[in-house]
Amino acid sequence: MKKHAMENQRLDFLDFSRGIAALLVFVSHAGASTGYFSKLGYRYEWVDFGQAGIITFFFVSGFVIPWSLEHSKSLRSFAIRRIFRLYPLFVCLLGLSLVLQMFGVPYPMPLGNQPMATVMSNLFMVWEPLRHTDLVLGSWTLTIEIVWYAAFGLLFHFGLQRDLRALAIATATLFIGVATVSLVMDIRLPLGRLGMLGVCLLGYYCYKLHIRQIGRRDALTWMALLVASILFMLWTAFSHHRSQTSNFPTVLISWSIGLVLFCVPLIFRQYRFFQMPVFMRFGRHSYSIYLAHPPILFFCRHAFTEPAVSLLCSIVMLLGISALLFRFVEAPGIQAGKFLDRALASRHSLRYRQKET
C-alpha cells in the first residue's frame, strides 16, 4: 500500500469538529429541557443545533472510517476495534437506565410490557424498527453509524469503494429512487436517516480529496450529485411529507451548519486555533458528552426547580462525568479492543506458521 502523509498521523484537527458537535447537541437538549428554546421560539423554526451537531459527527465518521479501514490489518481487526470503541460506554449507559428502572425511575421511559425484548433490541440497537422503548437516548445515531461501518466494510471488501464515479451514481440513483417511491406511494420513509448515510459518503469523498487520490474537479462533481440526491430526499421527507418535529428550511440550515463545522477545520487545519487543547479535550470526550448528557439533564431537571441552576449544574456535571467516563470506560474499552485484536492476530499467525511447517 502506498504511504501518504496521514499514515502515521492522528486526525487531531477533526477533534475540533467533534467537540463542537457534542456541545451543540448538549445545548439543543439543555435548552429544550430548561425551556429556554421554547421561550425564544426559534429552535425548530430556523435552526436545530442538535441536528447540526449530529450531521457534523456523520461527516467526521465518513472521513475517519475509510482511513481506519485502510490502516487496519483486516476487516476483523476493524470490526473488533470499532465494537470496543462504541459498546463499553453504550452498555454502561444502558445499565444505568436499567438500574433506574429497577428502582422505579422510568428513565427515559417505562420498559413496557416486553422488558426482555426491549432490553435485547436496545442492546443490538434495533429498538427503533421494532418500536420498543429507547433506553439510551441518542442511540439511534449509533445504529446509523454501525450501518455505515457495515456498508463501507462491504464496499472495501469487494473493492467497490475505488470507483468513485460509479459509487456516486449508484448511491444517487438509490436515493432518488427511494424518494420517488415515497412521493408516488405517498408514504413516509426514513429518508432523513438515509440522507445521513449520504453525509457519511460525502465525508469519504472529502477524505479521498484530502489524500489526493481524486482530483478536485471530479470530487466536486460527484459530491454535487450526491448533495442533489440528498436534498431531494430531504425535500420529500420534510416538505412534501409534513413533519411534526422540523421543516425543510430548518433541516437545510442545520445540515449546512454541520457541513461548515466539518469543512472549516479540515481546510484550515494548519491554524493553531483548530488544535487548541480545550477543543482537543472536548473532541476526545465527545462520545461521552453525547451519550452521558441526557441522564445528566434528566437528573438536574428533577433536582432543581430553577432552570438557570439546573443548566449550570448540568454543565458542571457533564464536564466532570464525561472526563471520568472517558478515562475509566472509553479508554479501557479501546485498549481492550486493541489487545483482543493483537491476541487474535498472533494466534492466527501461529496457526499459519504451524501449517507451513
Q: Give residue-wise pLDDT tens across range 182-211.
A: 999 999 999 999 999 999 999 999 999 999
Distance in angstroms (rounded) separating the CA atoms of residues 302 and 314: 11
Q: Average pLDDT of the chain?
A: 90
In the chain, the DSSP E strands lie at none
Distance in angstroms (rounded) separating the CA atoms of residues 22 and 58: 12
Assign 37 a pLDDT band (cuts: 50, 70, 90). low
Cα separations in angstroms, 193 against 188, 206, 230:
12, 20, 11
Alpha-helical (H) ranges within 46-190 are 49-70, 75-102, 115-123, 127-130, 139-158, 164-185
Backbone angles phi, psi at 121, to 5 degrees: -65, -35
DSSP 327: I
Backbone angles phi, psi at 299, to 5 degrees: -65, -50
Question: Is the confidence at residue 9, as pLDDT, over 50?
Answer: no
Which residue ranges make up each domain of the chain? Answer: 14-169+244-356
- Residue 265, classified by CB atoms within 10 Å of its CB into exposed (0-12), middle (13-18) or buried (19+), is buried
pTM assigned to the model: 0.93
Decide if 161 contacts 94 (C-beta within 8 A).
no
The predicted structure's pLDDT at residue 357: 61
